Structure 1
């Protein structure tokens, strides 16, 4: 629709103003930040958040749709790291960083219900 309007008015999509309608990746390119660097920074940020999440005494984050918030975001990220490892797509440096920061990340939660504290 916008293309048709721009053809009719004789304007180009770039005439809409600086940054208008751009997705995140286009915005990063305009700011001079290549996608690879942005992805790497986001990966290390999520690793730091996972480390803090576990250090706070939380169990491994879950990725199911019923979970929301930070646990869900971290759970999806961790699930994808495990999946990449199984397929041989996870960089060895990243796997080592995960192991150093959050030991046991490959195994995750134990199956079954959590034991209750009974006094």
Structure 2
């Protein structure tokens, strides 16, 4: 890779490439502390499998159950909030709000289908 003198002279706060111009990704469905707990439980199961395989599988199953339960709850809450945002709008006067809601449904569905 070659040294780019022009790029090196740009001010630090100025975006330098396409990756830095992107909008932030979608908000996570689960809070990071909840994700961390589930991942920690799964790692523990993986690390203890050699010594106690049945107990490790039960712990992994428990982590799976916790992840799916939290995901279902998070999706239900997201749906409730989306529906509350568009349900009482008049389609003739609030098409931008309805378009935004449709876009949010699409993004969530696409994320679910790519899990």
Q: Structures share a fold, TM > 0.5?
A: no
Q: Which entry has the higher C-alpha Rg, 1 or 2? A: 2
Q: Please identify which structure carries the higher helix content.
A: 2
- With normalisation by structure 2, the TM-score equals 0.32
- With normalisation by structure 1, the TM-score equals 0.31
